[in-house]
Amino acid sequence: MILELDNVTVTFTAGPPFRREHVHAMRGVSLYVAEGETLGLVGESGSGKTTASRVALGLQRPTAGAVRFEGKPFPKRRRELAGHMQAVLQHPHWSLNPRMRVGASVAEPLAVLGEKAPDRVHEMLERVGLEAGLATRYPHELSGGQRQRVSIARALVTRPRFLVFDEAVSALDVSVQAQILNLIKDLQREFGFSALFISHDLGVVRYIADRIAVMRGGEVVETADTATFYTAPAHEYSKRLLEAL
Amino acid sequence: MKDWLTRAGMVCLGLIVLVALASVVNLAGDPDEIVGPRLAPPGPGYWLGTDNLGRSMLPRIMEGIATTLLLSSVAVLVTAALSAVLGIVAGYRGGVVNELIMRLVEVLYSFPAIVLAILVAAVFGPGQLAALASIVLVTIPLMTRLVRAAAVGVAQRDYVTAAIISGARLPRILGRHLLPNVAGTIAVQVTYALSVGIAVEGGLSFLGFGVQPPQASLGVLIQQGTTYMTAAPWMITGPGVVFVVAVLAINVVGDGLRDRFEPRQARSLV
Amino acid sequence: MTALLEVRDLAVEYDSGERRVRALDGADLTVAAGETIGIVGESGSGKSTLGSAVGRLLPSTANRVTGDVWLAGERVFDLPPAGIRRLRRERLGFVFQDPIASLDPTMRVGKQLKLVLGSKGDPLSHLDRVRLANPGRVARMYPHQLSGGMAQRVALAIAMACQPRLLIADEPTAALDAQVREEVLEVVFSVAAEAGTSIVWLSHDLTAVARRCSRVAVMYGGRVVEDGPAADVLGQPAHPYTAALARSAPAMASLGDRLSPVPGRPPVLAEASHGCAFEPRCPYAEERCAKERPELHVVRTQEALCHRATELVTAS
């Protein structure tokens, strides 16, 4: 088991003192991601899937419940996970530092670990279908699809065992989206990482994931194999999502 | 339209800087040398007239520009450095650190500039140090607030999140990601702060708390000029014109920089 | 035949000083009164430029090179300023991607509607028409207090206030949640149907458009490359690009299928295309495709801008 969320609850407080409001972003969520598999997480904005991704990445501490990574409870210091998990995030426009060359962006996770390996940067760029020469370019010279490929290269350069894709293809055009989805599938076969793939788009999740969890109002309402989602989802809400495709 | 204005501002600013440099080598003569009769109108040997002691106005104005410009520039660089650190830390960290820094800055902001400057002069005693410290204290609140606002925006960008997930330490995140991406904001604010700095120096020296005669600064010259305004109008005209042109030119250049670094993408619809 | 909207050979270029981009490269489109048409294209295909051009709402950097737009019998680009304002006011409605940004943040919703309606209208009935629950409460709210779905309904109420002949909706649901999306679309289409208003819906989602519109026009490289009844365009595409687009949508894939994406990426034209803009990515491209601009070919119920449209259909 790579990642386990065990009965996780996250509560945010808002408002002035004495009249604080408590908002449950996640309510008793249990999920797991097994070795080498992709778990798809679908839900609309406000369903708690973004919070779930932050919890999985160790950016958000649960109010209650436990998170285990590779069988061990999350370390107190996030840095101890450096290089073991990475993420590909939503906005191709903001995923790369505009003041850093592409090569430096891809090398950053290595630099954090104190490693220098320009060969690996070039190799990684080629693995995601880009020319190694792109390393000296700045992000604004790249298209949206190219930038998202660079983000994937950056995420994979430390050969992590676990990746989170948070709406990673949502901002891309349909024809480019298909290229990136196929790339992710190919890379997963090659590198064997486990993944949590979060999206509001059931069509995309269904294509990429092995299992699918549906979130709504901070709770997981259904978890099932992808095949079930092509044929007969159990929950009423999942059926509605499917019909909307 | 905007373009030629910016260019004109840059030309003016360039000329002013050149004049300041020329004064360092006394190109137009010694500013302290008595060259003619007192309060003489412009004539050969003293092209902009003489002052109440018979010193030529031209080298005095040049020295005044150099003093004011150097003082303001040093002060603004200090402000930029302090604001960058305070604004970035407040913007990235948020929470208590943010509250602490921003409340402190707001206290400074609540004082009228000239009151603050007089307060500083009272502490340090009149002189260049007081002028410098005043400029820093007057310009730091606005710049810190704007840097913080920019940093808050940058801190939410995906590349910062990605760096955090990679396990990057604070110095790397602040230095590699935050600073380069708020640098444009800082550059724009530096120019505005420079014009505020020149104005503060002028006001403070005018009141006698800043640069002390016989050294010339724009403020000192304007102060002396007002005393003899009716008898020798050339004593105030030169420094006054330079003062206004410098402040305007810097603001115009600042506007140009802002349009370049912080373009608002407005679609002209409806 | 008098079409409500007619766009003929429209070419529009953006000139930023450093770079020139030809967003429309001779686009043709006809919309009949009461028709619902979906314009499908990826970013950079020129669909938003086309939508803006209909109301002469192009940004100042845009420059119309050739072509014309007729709306309700009037030549849009020849009208004096007062004329184009009257046309926008009486004949046209616009709904944009970001509903909250399209409203004035300093003004209550009711007052904004009142401004559009003049003295004759009642804002509450118009809010009721777009199926907003509790119109009285909504009218007193400021735009930032509205949810995305509510704001888009308000924007629709404003756009439809004067019973326009044509409603242009530019990705109206892109910023909304999936569930709200369907509701908003439902309202857009039913309100327009009641008023007899034609809809031009700009979207990147071929399947979603095909479900609601009677006709679909597919844009690529600044031209309408295929135009026909929605079911046929989606089911039996006549243009290779439409076919590729349909194949690459994950929602269309069955279990175990691999998506077949179009290789390469959409073009950014700097000048008029010498041949077919899709030629570099097209699996059926031959020599003339790069050299000759394709003419219109009628294939079954569709019109397609492809040299090989007829032979490809007979071959398949």
Do residue A99 and residue B167 have CB atoms under 8 angstroms apart?
Answer: no
- Helix (H), strand (E), coil (C) string for C271-302: CCCCCCCCHHHCCCCCHHHHHCCCCEEEECCE
- Total tally of structural domains belonging to chain B: 1
- Range A231-236, long-range pairs (CB < 8 A, 24+ positions): none
Q: Mean pLDDT of all residues in chain A?
A: 88
Task: Kindly report the number of other CB atoms within 10 A of residue B164's CB atom.
Answer: 20
Residue B80: the pLDDT is 96
Do residue A178 and residue C265 have CB atoms under 8 angstroms apart?
Answer: no
B269 touches chain C (CB under 8 A): yes
Residues in chain B within 8 Å Cβ distance of C52: 269
| Chain A interface, Cβ < 8 Å to C | 44-46, 143-145, 173-179, 181-182, 185, 200-204, 206-208, 226-227, 230, 240-241, 244-245
The answer to whether B178 touches B99, Cβ cutoff 8 Å, is: no
Amino acid B106 reads: E
C205 touches chain A (CB under 8 A): yes
Question: Could you give the CA distance from residue C159 to residue C137 in angstroms, rounded to a whole number?
Answer: 20
**Sequence spans of domains, chain C:** 5-315
pLDDT at residue A240 greater than cutoff 80: no
The SS3 call for residue A96 is coil
Q: Which of C257, C258, C281, C282 to mutate to probe the A interface, most A CBs <10 Å?
A: C258
Chain C residue with minimum CA distance to B268: C59
How many Å lie between the alpha carbon of B94 and the closest alpha carbon of chain C?
Answer: 24
Across C291-300, average pLDDT:
90
pLDDT grade for C178, boundaries at 50, 70 and 90: low
Q: Which of B158, B160, B173 to mutate to probe the A interface, most A CBs <10 Å?
A: B158
Amino acid C62 reads: A
Residue C9: the pLDDT is 94
The answer to whether B188 touches B261, Cβ cutoff 8 Å, is: yes
- pLDDT tens-digit series, residues C75-86: 999 999 899 999
Question: Could you give the CA distance from residue C37 to residue C45 in angstroms, rounded to a whole number?
Answer: 17
H helix or E strand, kind and range, residue C228: strand C223-229
Residues in chain B within 8 Å Cβ distance of A91: 157-158
H helix or E strand, kind and range, residue B117: helix B113-124
Which is more confident, A149 or C251?
Answer: A149
Residue A245: the pLDDT is 66
C42, C250, C265 ranked by CB distance to A207: nearest: C250
Do residue A227 and residue C255 have CB atoms under 8 angstroms apart?
Answer: yes
The answer as to whether B93 is a domain residue is yes
B214 upstream amide cis, omega within 30 of 0: yes
What percent of chain B stands above pLDDT 90? Answer: 55
pLDDT at residue B270 greater than cutoff 80: no
Residues 6+ apart with CB under 8 A from C227: C29, C215, C216, C217, C218, C233, C302, C303, C304
- pLDDT tens-digit series, residues B88-107: 999 999 889 999 999 999 99
C181, C182, C249 ranked by CB distance to A174: nearest: C249
Beta bridge partners of A212: A40, A224
Which is more confident, C229 or A202?
Answer: C229
> What CATH number did the domain enclosing B139 receive?
1.10.3720.10
Across A28-57, average pLDDT:
90
Residue from A88, A48, A57, A47 nearest A170 by CA: A88
- DSSP letter for C30, please: E
Q: How many B-C residue pairs are in contact by the CB < 8 A criterion? A: 10
The answer to whether C39 touches C10, Cβ cutoff 8 Å, is: no
Q: What strands lie across the sheet with C5-15, from one edge to the other?
A: C20-31, C5-15, C62-71, C74-75
Residues 6+ apart with CB under 8 A from B182: B84, B87, B88, B147, B150, B151, B154
How many Å lie between the alpha carbon of A40 and the closest alpha carbon of chain C?
Answer: 14
The answer as to whether B34 is a domain residue is yes
Residue A23: the pLDDT is 81
Question: Could you give the CA distance from residue C171 to residue C223 in angstroms, rounded to a whole number?
Answer: 18
The answer as to whether B270 is a domain residue is no
| Residue carrying the six token digits 């009935």 | C125
The answer as to whether B239 is a domain residue is yes
Query: What burial class does residue C286 get, using C-beta atoms within 10 Å of its C-beta: 0-12 exposed, 13-18 middle, 19+ buried?
Result: exposed
pLDDT at residue A156 greater than cutoff 90: yes
Q: What is the span of the domain harbouring residue B234?
A: 2-261
A176, A182, A208 ranked by CB distance to C265: nearest: A176
Residue from B173, B157, B166, B179 nearest A114 by CA: B166
Chains meeting C at 3+ CB pairs closer than 8 A? A, B
Fold of A1-81+198-245: Rossmann fold (3.40.50)
Pairing of strands C302-305, C36-40: unpaired
Q: What are phi and psi of C167, to 5 degrees?
A: -115, 125
Amino acid A210 reads: D
Amino acid B244 reads: V
Calculate Rg over the CA atoms of chain B: 22
Q: Which of A51, A97, A108, A124 to mutate to probe the B interface, most B CBs <10 Å?
A: A97
A59, A97, A112 ranked by CB distance to B159: nearest: A97
Do residue A203 and residue C265 have CB atoms under 8 angstroms apart?
Answer: no
Provide ipTM, 2 decimals: 0.89
Question: Could you give the CA distance from residue B32 to residue B264 in angstroms, rounded to a whole number?
Answer: 50
Strands (E), B159-268: none
| Chain C interface, Cβ < 8 Å to B | 52, 57, 59-60, 88, 94, 96
Question: Could you give the CA distance from residue C48 to residue C31 in angstroms, rounded to a whole number?
Answer: 16
Do residue A173 and residue C177 have CB atoms under 8 angstroms apart?
Answer: no
pLDDT at residue B265 greater than cutoff 50: no
Query: Is domain C5-315 given the CATH code 3.40.50.300 in the classification?
Result: yes
H helix or E strand, kind and range, residue B97: helix B95-110
The answer to whether C240 touches C282, Cβ cutoff 8 Å, is: yes
- DSSP letter for C84, please: H
How many Å lie between the alpha carbon of A169 and the closest alpha carbon of chain B?
Answer: 14
pLDDT grade for C313, boundaries at 50, 70 and 90: confident
Do residue A82 and residue B166 have CB atoms under 8 angstroms apart?
Answer: yes
Question: Could you give the CA distance from residue C109 to residue C103 in angstroms, rounded to a whole number?
Answer: 8
Per-residue b or e along C12-47, where b marks 16 or more CB atoms closer than 10 Å to that residue's CB: bbbeeeeeebbbbbbbbbbbeeebbbbbbbbbbbbb
Pairing of strands C215-220, C36-40: parallel
Do residue C59 and residue B267 have CB atoms under 8 angstroms apart?
Answer: yes
- pLDDT tens-digit series, residues B133-167: 999 999 999 999 999 999 999 998 999 999 999 99
pLDDT at residue C159 greater than cutoff 80: yes
pLDDT at residue C226 greater than cutoff 60: yes
Distance between start and end Cα atoms, chain B: 23
- Return the sign of the alpha-carbon dihedral for residues C96, C101, C104, C107: positive
Residues in chain B within 8 Å Cβ distance of C96: 269
The SS3 call for residue B39 is coil
Question: Could you give the CA distance from residue A51 to residue A56 in angstroms, rounded to a whole number?
Answer: 9
